[in-house]
Structure 1
């Protein structure tokens, strides 16, 4: 897919994701930018995040609830807390062996993402589930 033409809103949405360590959702970005960009709608945020992900400028993370977004598109591992919704980068190295294992099944692998689900250390093992 070719990049969309330049848009101030799209760039601000991208910048907001890039500046965040929270791997924000569309709603988080909307709430952050709505004062600065009063004409911004939640639909516009969703549309632009999806376009940025399709262009490869953002990574989309499926953590079981709302999609989260990450401006770090190089392969890396995530942890999604099922209690509080926190998303963390983990220092687990990318393993190309997994790509080769999938290729044994006749797949043409372009990469993989690894996301762990569980309870983060901040929740201390609380049994609350989103």
Structure 2
């Protein structure tokens, strides 16, 4: 946690659950996981804490254009997202993005980089295969 950020049992539990999985859950999915250990936690508490943790760089927020997903591994690493079901997985490969210099960054102060690949997960690929060609 960041210096000066108050500790809370709810936040610590949310972080512990998120770091314990590799499935990149949505806030709703994480809420269901946390509720098993803390039944009285609210969905709003989960959302607020995930946003706080993400804004402080403790976790990654993966914006998908729909329901955001969260990653307990805050180190920069590539992801692959299924364009059919929205599932997100880590890609275990070395990616070294070029670092722009001051001139090529058009005056922006670069604070991070997101590398995401798109495709179909194995389950959605099987479904598409079984459906056959569409004409």
* Aligned partners of 1:81 and 1:118 also within 8 Å: yes
How many positions carry a matched residue from both structures?
Answer: 126
Q: 1:18 & 1:6 partners in 2: Cα distance? A: 17
d(CA) in 2 for partners of 1:74, 1:18: 12
Give the CA deviation at 1:103.
5.2
TM-score of the aligned structures, taking structure 2 as reference length: 0.82
Partner of 2:53: 52
Measured after TM superposition, the shift of residue 49 of structure 1 is 0.5
Q: CA deviation at 1:36?
A: 1.9
**Within 2, Cα distance between the matches of 1:102 and 1:121?**
41
The Cα RMSD (Å) is 2.2
Q: What is the aligned partner in structure 2 of residue 14 from structure 1?
A: 15
Moved more, 29-38 or 103-112: 103-112
Q: CA deviation at 1:96?
A: 3.5
Unaligned 5+ runs, structure 1:
none
Structure 2 unaligned runs (5+)? 130-135
Residue 37 (structure 2) pairs with residue 36 (structure 1): yes
Give the alignment's TM-score, normalised by structure 1.
Answer: 0.84
Structure with higher Rg: it is 2
With over 3 angstroms needed to count, the CA separation of the structure-2 counterparts of 1:122 and 1:103, relative to structure 1, is farther
Q: Report deviation, 1:58.
A: 0.4
Which residue is 1:78 aligned to? Answer: 79
